Chains A and B, each alone.
Chain A
């Protein structure tokens, strides 16, 4: 694929429900990131994968949030018992090697999934 893709583009759910957001990174990119962008704010780091493993999950707000990348390619962000405060645009990005391994390595962002919790 040409770029990072995310599905769905929009997700409306009810408070308390479970949601999954999917990210397809650029083929061959080993690093994958999830960010959350609330209205009027910049993106906020959630979690970073290097290959299949979560190398840094320090940005996940609580244990309702979980992400996986089982085969080192597609990633899924999972949110349990959604709350109204989870409403935001969830951005996924990928890079070839990751900043730590390649200074200046560019993160390519997807268009995001807009999550609305009613």
Chain B
């Protein structure tokens, strides 16, 4: 069965600093991979997704993620964080041929001015 690990529960960065949120998955083949963001009182919003092709994926709000098969990772990056990026970030994996997503436990991002 597939699983997702987000090793960092809470990350604090200064505004303007770069960001990397880690995500590791467990699955026997290449899964579908997603990053979602959840702001307080808001629903989950898709930032980006990978299902095939180029392993570097561009998303909304200046985020990108890179699929590394050898490391079973799909880390989320942003070169310069804005205060509005403070939120909870979830990595999710889907197995091809199925429809359910398996989510990690999330990483809470705090941004200091």
The residues of A with any CB-CB pair to B shorter than 8 Å are 3-4, 31, 33, 35, 40-45, 48, 50, 55-56, 58-59, 91, 93, 98-100, 103-104, 106-112
Q: Is the CB of B99 within 8 A of A91?
A: no
The contact string, 1 if C-beta is below 8 Å from chain A, for chain B 39-57, is 0011111100101100000
Q: Is the CB of B44 within 8 A of A33?
A: no
Q: Give every chain B residue within 8 A of A104 (Cβ-Cβ).
A: 32, 49, 51-52
Interface assignment of B13: CB less than 8 Å from any CB of chain A? no
> Known contacts A4-B43, A104-B51, A111-B43; is A44 also within 8 Å of B99 by CB?
no
Interface assignment of B28: CB less than 8 Å from any CB of chain A? no
Interface assignment of B7: CB less than 8 Å from any CB of chain A? no
Report the tally of A-B residue pairs with Cβ distances under 8 A: 72
Q: Is the CB of A42 within 8 A of B43?
A: no
The contact string, 1 if C-beta is below 8 Å from chain A, for chain B 41-76, is 111111001011000000000000000000000000
Give the nearest-CB partner of B45 in chain A: A109
Q: Give every chain B residue within 8 A of A55 (Cβ-Cβ).
A: 99
> Known contacts A91-B44, A103-B51, A104-B51; is A98 also within 8 Å of B99 by CB?
yes
